[in-house]
Amino acid sequence: MTAPVIFSVNNDIGIISIDYPPVNALSQSVRQGLIDGVIKFENDDSIKAIIIRCKKRTFIAGADIKEFANAPLEPHLPDVVNRIEACTKPVIASLFGTSLGGGFEVALACHYRVALETTKVGLPEVNLGLIPGAGGTQRLPRMVGVKKAMEMITSGVHYSVNNFSSTDLFDCIFSSDENLDESTLRFVEELVTTGKITLSKVGEKTIVNDIDNWKQTLSLINKKSRGKEAPNIAARILQKSLGLNIAEGMALERREFLKLKESEQSAALRFAFGAERLASKTEFTATPLEVKNVGIIGGGTMGSGIATVFLSSGFNVKLVEQNEEALATGRERIEGNFESNVKRGRISQDQANSYLASLTTSIDYQSLSESDLVIEVVFENMEVKKTIFRQLDQVCKPECILATNTSYLDIDEIASVVTDPSRVIGMHFFSPANIMKLLEVVQAKKSSEQALLTAMAVAKKLKKISVMVGVCFGFAGNRMYTRYGREVQQMLLEGAKVAQIDDALTGWGMAMGQLAVSDMSGLDIGYHARSSVSAPKYDRGYFKPAELMFKLGRYGRKTSKGYYQYDENGKASNDPLVDQLISEKAEELGFIQKEFSDDEISQRAILALISEGLQLLKDGIVKRASDIDVIWLHGYGFPRHKGGPMFQAKQMGKNKLELQFEKLRQLESVEIWPEVDLSLVL
Ligand code: 3H9
The tens digit of pLDDT for each residue in 484-523 reads: 999 999 999 999 999 999 999 999 999 999 999 999 999 9
Q: How many CA atoms lie within 13 A of 438 on its CB side?
A: 23
* Terminal Cα-to-Cα distance of the chain (whole angstroms): 35
Nearest residue by C-alpha to atom 16 in ligand 1: 23
Q: Whose CA is nearest to atom 4 of ligand 1?
A: 102
Among 576, 573, 578, smallest CA distance to 549 is for: 578
557 CA to centre of ligand 1 in angstroms: 41
Q: How many residues belong to the chain?
A: 682
Q: Which residues of 246-280 are buried (b: 16+ CB within 10 A; e: fewer)?
A: beebbebbbebbeebbebebbbbbbbbeebbeebb
Rounded to whole angstroms, the Cα distance separating 128 from 261 reads: 9
Instruction: Report the pLDDT averaged over residues 632-650.
Output: 97
* Ligand 1 pocket test, candidate residues 26, 64, 65, 68, most atoms within 8 A of CB: 65
Q: What is the mean pLDDT of residues 254-276?
A: 97
User: Which of these is catalytic: 85, 125, 229, 256?
Assistant: 125
Atom number in ligand 1 closest to CA 120: 55
Q: What is the pLDDT of residue 1?
A: 64
Average pLDDT over residues 92-104: 98
Is 125 part of the annotated catalytic residue set? yes
Question: Distance between CA atoms of 379 and 303, rounded to whole angstroms?
Answer: 10
Indicate whether 647 pLDDT > 90.
Answer: yes
Ligand 1, closest atom to CA 64?
9
Stretch 415-424: mean pLDDT:
98
Phi, psi of 148 (to 5 degrees): -65, -40
User: Residue 297: enclosing H or E segment and its boundaries?
Assistant: strand 293-297
State the Cα–Cα distance between residues 302 and 324, nearest whole angstrom: 18
* Sequence-ordered list of residues with C-beta below 8 angstroms from that of 313, at least 6 positions apart, any chain: 461, 462, 463
Q: Ramachandran region of residue 678, left (φ > 0), alpha (ψ -120 to 50) or beta? A: alpha
List helix spans (H) across 591-644: 598-619, 625-635
Of 105, 229, 440, 612, which is the active-site residue? 105
Across 75-86, average pLDDT: 98
Calculate ∠ Cα 22-313-455, nearest 5°. 70
pTM of the model: 0.94
Atom of ligand 1 nearest to the CA of 100: 30
Minimum CA distance residue for ligand 1 atom 7: 133
Helix (H/G/I), strand (E/B), else coil: 207: coil
Given a cut of 90, whether residue 339 has pLDDT beyond it is yes
Cα 110 from Cα 93, distance rounded (Å): 6
Burial of 493 (0-12, 13-18, 19+ CB in 10 A): buried
For 515-568, the DSSP string reads HHHHHHH-HHHHHHHHHTSPPPTT-TTTTHHHHHHHHTT--BGGGTBSSEEE-T
Residue 69 CA to ligand 1 center (angstroms) comes to 15
559: exposed, middle or buried (Cβ count in 10 Å: 0-12, 13-18, 19+): middle
Give the closest residue to 267 by CA, choosing from 581, 641, 672: 641
What mean pLDDT comes out for the span 332-354?
96
Question: Per-residue pLDDT averaged across 454-480, rounded?
Answer: 97
Bridge partner list, 440: 428, 467
Q: Which atom, in ligand 1's list, is nearest to the CA of 134? A: 6
Which residues in 403-425 are b (16+ Cβ under 10 Å) and which e? Answer: bbbbbbbbbeebbebbeebbbbb
In this prediction, residue 327 has a pLDDT band, given cuts at 50, 70 and 90, of very high
- Please give the distance, rounded to the nearest whole angstrom, from the Cα atom of residue 103 to the centre of ligand 1: 11
Protein residue closest via CA to atom 42 of ligand 1: 22
Ligand 1, atom 55, residue with closest C-alpha: 98
Q: Is 449 a catalytic residue?
A: no
Segment 226-238 shows an average pLDDT of 96
Alpha-carbon span 411 to 468, nearest angstrom: 14
Q: What is the pLDDT of residue 31?
A: 98
Distance 628 CA to ligand 1 centre (A): 22
In the sheet that 5-10 helps form, which strands lie side by side, from edge to edge?
5-10, 13-18, 49-54, 91-95, 112-116, 172-174
User: Using N-to-C axis directions, what is the helix angle for 477-494 and 598-619, rounded to 10°?
Assistant: 150
* Cα-to-centroid distance, 23 and ligand 1 (Å): 7
Mean pLDDT over 44-53 rounds to 98
Provide the mean pLDDT of the chain: 96
Q: Which residues contact 480 (CB under 8 A, 6 or more apart)?
A: 474, 609, 612, 613, 616, 628, 631, 632, 645
Phi, psi of 400 (to 5 degrees): -65, 135
Q: What is the CB < 6 Å shell around ligand 1?
A: 22-23, 25, 61-66, 77, 98, 100-102, 105, 124-125, 128, 130, 132-134, 136, 277
Confidence of residue 450 (pLDDT cuts 50, 70, 90): very high
- Work out which ligand 1 atom sits closest to the CA atom of 132: 5
Which amino acid residue places its CA nearest to atom 32 of ligand 1?
277
pLDDT of residue 531: 86
Please determine, for residue 682, whether its predicted confidence score (pLDDT) is greater than 90.
no
pLDDT > 90 fraction of the chain, expressed in percent and rounded:
95
Q: Helix (H, G, I), strand (E, B), or coil: what is residue 5?
A: strand
Give whole-number Cα distances, 638 to 115, 155, 522, 531, 648, in Å: 38, 19, 20, 27, 11
Whether residue 536 has a cis bond before it, omega within 30° of 0: no
Q: Which atom of ligand 1 is nearest to the CA of 273?
A: 18
pLDDT digits (tens, 9 = 90+) for 602-632: 999 999 999 999 999 999 999 999 999 999 9
For residue 257, pLDDT beyond 80: yes
Tens-digit pLDDT profile for residues 288-315 = 999 999 999 999 999 999 999 999 999 9
Q: How far is the CA of 66 from the centre of ligand 1 (A)?
A: 10
Calculate how far, in angstroms, residue 278's C-alpha sits from the geometric centre of ligand 1. Answer: 13
Find residue 14's DSSP bridge partners. Answer: 9, 50
